[in-house]
Amino acid sequence: MRIIFIGPPGAGKGTQAEKIVSHYKLVHLSTGVMLRVAVAEKTEIGLQAEKYMSSGQFVPDDVIIGIISERLNAQDCKKGFLLDGFPRTLTQAAALDEMLQKNNTPLDIVLELKVPDDELFRRLAERGRDDDKPNVIHNRLAVYAEQTLPLLQYYAKQSLLKTIDGQGSINIIFERMKETLDKFI
């Protein structure tokens, strides 16, 4: 199964992604996690990415596309994967389409996790990660609306989009996801 997971910061993507990959035995590809590791290890990419991440901006497309294309071609991804936090721009989506076409591995579904803004703000303020400070949160939500929301239409046009209500308990949301994903086993 090959899944893209889209949702604003604070929607609970990371938590649900963990549950999905363990239930369906998929590889979890989170660009946010990869970047935070790169920053902690002070690699060249990490040093480059840090300034964007700390201000709530996107890391440049070519950097992200480079990271993902290398990872997607690895052997473990053959059994299926969940992309969490990628693509986030139309340029990234087009690059991904090209990679998947070349490997003859089309997507099964694009899941959108939908949560209202006031609820997102509350959740992010509680989480307290480095980039969860109020002005940075504001920036990240604005960048999401501007850069990532257009992807929903992009994938709806390909009849791949399924929107899931991201409000409620972790388990209830997971049940909603499974209802959709079980069709692709």
The residues binding ligand AMP (CB under 6 A) are 9, 31-32, 35, 52-53, 56-59, 64, 85-86, 88, 92, 131, 140
Question: Across the strands, what pairs with 3?
Answer: 82, 109
Query: How distant, in Å, are the alpha carbons of 45, 51, 94 from that of 60?
Result: 11, 11, 15
The CB-of-113 to ligand AMP minimum distance in angstroms stands at 12
Query: Nearer to ligand AMP by C-beta: 9 or 166?
Result: 9
40 vs 31: CA distance, rounded Å = 14
3-state secondary structure of 42: coil
Phi-psi region of 169 (alpha: psi -120 to 50; beta: other; left: phi over 0): beta
Nearest-CB residue to ligand AMP? 32
Contact 33, 86 (CB under 8 A): no
Minimal distance, residue 170 CB to ligand AMP, in Å: 18
Examine residue 9 and say whether the peptide bond preceding it is cis (omega within 30 degrees of 0).
Answer: no
Nearest to 121 by CA among 14, 25, 9, 41: 9
Residue whose CB is less far from ligand AMP, 140 or 162: 140
Comparing CB distances to ligand AMP, the nearer of 16 and 92 is 92
Task: Please say which residue, 66 or 185, places its beta carbon nearer to ligand AMP.
Answer: 66
Minimal distance in Å, beta carbon 41 to ligand AMP?
15
User: With left for phi above 0 and alpha for psi between -120 and 50, is residue 11 left, alpha or beta?
Assistant: alpha
Shortest Cβ distance from residue 53 to ligand AMP (Å)?
4
Nearer to ligand AMP, 134 or 184 (CB): 134
Query: Least distance in Å: CB of 92 to ligand AMP?
Result: 6
